[in-house]
Amino acid sequence: MSESTSITTTLIPEKERLTYIEKTFGMVFPLRIEPFIYSVARHISEDYNGGYWHYHSLSNGGFWMHPESGEPFDVISDNGYTGSMQPEAFGITCCLYSYSNLSFYENKQLSDLCTQHYHLLRDFVPKLSQAGQISAVCD
């Protein structure tokens, strides 16, 4: 059994979100990471127009979020990928894309944190039904 199959995800309850984010990311999340994720969402899908996002923790220490939506998102990536993604896969894609880009940021603390979270989330992806689409957008 691969390590990725043992990674589980848990929805972070509304009342615990701020405490979780502060402990996991500190102030860099609301100032840099979260806005970047929203920007990526707008960039790769014309269907995204804001709204509430659900936060999830991973049993390996990772974090991801996805927009609350009952509809899939049509995605067009800079690398040429086009397709439709369920909200959870879309959110994971936006997080991976953001973590990857921010891992090159000049601030070493932010860079290291995003590198770590990129790998933690990437380890979770292979077990997902839309793993191929997520990888196609991010690779």
| Tens-place pLDDT, residues 20-38 | 999 999 999 999 999 999 9
As a whole number, mean pLDDT of residues 61-87 equals 96
- Give residue limits of the domains in the chain: 9-138
What is the structure's pLDDT at 86? 97
pLDDT value of position 114: 97
Q: What is the arithmetic mean of pLDDT over 85-99?
A: 98
Report which secondary-structure segment, H or E, holds 58: strand 53-58
The answer to whether 82 and 76 have CB atoms below 8 angstroms apart is yes
Segment holding 11, helix H or strand E:
strand 9-11
pLDDT at 134: 97
14's CB contacts (< 8 A; 6+ apart) are: none
Q: Which string of b and e fits 14-36 if b means at least 16 CB within 10 Å?
A: eeeeeeebeebbeebbeebbbeb
pLDDT of residue 5: 55
Per CATH, domain 9-138 is 3.30.70.3580: yes
